Amino acid sequence: MIKSAVTISIVEEARKGPFVFHEDVAAGCKHAAELGFDAVELFAPSPEAITALPLIDLLAEHGLSLAAVGTGAGMVKHGLHLCDADASRRTKGCDFIRGIIEAGAPFGAPAIIGSMQGKWDAVTDKETALGYLRDSLNVLGDHARSLGTKLIYEPLNRYETNLATTMKEGVELLAPLTTDNVVLLADLFHMNIEEASIADGLRDGGKHVGHVHFVDSNRQAAGRGHMDYAPIAAALTEIGYDGYACAEAFPIPDSYEAARQTIETFKSVFRS
Ligand code: LER
Ligand code: MN
């Protein structure tokens, strides 16, 4: 059965980013639980910031799981990414992600590689960049396996990456990997921009889809845009998806209302 989750960001630089709750993890967990979410997804500035949180207690107190942990702070805070032409900067990017994997693993929470994948450019051509990215996915995927979790790779829209922008390209990126421990994140916002059909994109991802960012066409809470969720839910059922549908959306009109709207739409899409 598909489970519900909602994002909490404690990254100052991402204050205007598409996260439902910001700054206060305790308040985010309290509201998530009140509204009936199964889990939260955490976007934190560093591995140390995760381990410093009273997460075990907060999750237990509110009966929540940790769905996933984001790694994008490596990019927004330090400008790191996995396709940097400079090998020492690639290593730093990889180390940052390794730290987040290790901070999430005790909670069974996989790390997400989104913006940390980077882009190819005039210095690093596409094949070279894809090679760098695959090298890191192999190492980090195996590391996640050694800690009992998966690694999540997220195709992004064309304005955020030029590596893999569709589920089909995501599958092609994973195909030559030596690790089988990397799954795809289907973010409905990115898919709405890049896929000819979101439902067909989910079918392209098939068994590789391991996480979903549940959001509307305008990156607001599900139910506040023009996304047609019925064919999306049908495609997720068809591919046997039973992971999280996690709200990664702007806190519009405010965090609580965005979360409330999300769970209302979640129930009508996945529980009726
Ligand atoms: C970025 O656009 C995004 O969707 C995030 O999940 C990536 O970290
Ligand atoms: Mn996303």
DSSP-assigned letters across all residues of 11-28? -GGGTTSS-SEES-HHHH
Name the residue with the closest Cα to ligand 1, atom 5.
Answer: 114
**Whole-angstrom distance, CA of residue 165 vs CA of residue 158:** 6
Band the pLDDT of 224: cuts 50, 70, 90.
Answer: very high
pTM for this prediction:
0.98
Band the pLDDT of 93: cuts 50, 70, 90.
Answer: very high
Q: Which two tokens stand for residue 239?
A: 């591919």
- 49 contacts 114 by C-beta, under 8 angstroms: no
The H or E element containing residue 41 is: strand 39-43
**Chain position carrying tokens 């000819």:** 196
CA of 86 to the centre of ligand 2 (A): 26
Name the residue with the closest Cα to ligand 1, atom 2.
Answer: 156
CA of 68 to the centre of ligand 2 (A): 11
> How many CB atoms within 10 Å of residue 122?
6
pLDDT of residue 272: 86
CA of 213 to the centre of ligand 2 (A): 5
For residue 14, pLDDT beyond 90: yes
